[in-house]
Amino acid sequence: MAPSRQATAPPAFVRMIDHPVRWRLLTALAGSDHRVRELVQLVGQPQNLVSYHLRLLRRGGLVTARRSSFDARDSYYHLDLDRCSAELATTGAALHPALREPAVPPFGGSGPRWSHETSVLFVCTGNSARSPIAEALLRHHTAGSLDVASAGTSPKPHLHPGAVQVMAAEFGIDLADQQPRRLAGLEGRRFDAVITLCDRARERCPEFKQHPRRIHWSIPDPATASDADEAGFPAFRRAAADINTRVRHLLPALASTD
């Protein structure tokens, strides 16, 4: 008896990534959020073709887009690495049950190890919410084994109460005594990675002499969200969860550079 069409057709994920342009887009977005014109340069294809394949990736649930907070005419594209991981596991299991990867704890255990010399800087505009949250989470999840800092291009006088509250409630991390820091003056320090967390800060972040890896995470400012002042600070919960996921995916990339 001939095998059924359902049994012989490759999974939808395989069909989605089995195109050279889409694969190059996924590879570019795996390391950083990008705008269309940047992706055009990175993949070396016309904008209309890049936009077409981005639409397919969005339709497949692998890529999301959000308007830039710096220039609303632009959009930043983001790769959902958790979705990719789940699809890869499902694809492996479709080929053979032994290829389904077991769930692995995101931190600790037998995971990657990092050099004490590895240094990371998180940057946003006010250094009052997103970048201190990222700094605290990366330090927490690596047990202080990395040199981690955060700063703002135009720092606020104090951390936002929502950032302090969500870190204490969701992660047991106390940021009450932390103060925003000014980015100016840090250009002389050595960093392996400089990560901007807001679109405005990305445009204003200076170049560093040591040419660290530049990464952008386009994350909305929770302080300006419509529900930022509601009980429980849901906007800050969303931001912290997004940052925590991105930090989890950052860790193996940092370990691979040691």
129 touches 200 (CB < 8 A):
no
221 touches 129 (CB < 8 A):
yes
Radius of gyration of the chain (CA): 20
Q: Which of 16, 138, 198, 251 is catalytic?
A: 198
Residues pairing with 147 in the sheet:
119
**Known catalytic residue at 84:** no
Residues pairing with 149 in the sheet:
121
Q: Which of 124, 133, 167, 247 is catalytic?
A: 124
How many other C-beta atoms can be found within 10 angstroms of the C-beta atom of residue 104? Answer: 10
54 touches 25 (CB < 8 A):
yes
Q: Which of 205, 219, 240, 243 is catalytic?
A: 205
Cα–Cα distance, 46 to 111 (Å, whole number)? 40
Residues with catalytic roles = 124, 198, 205
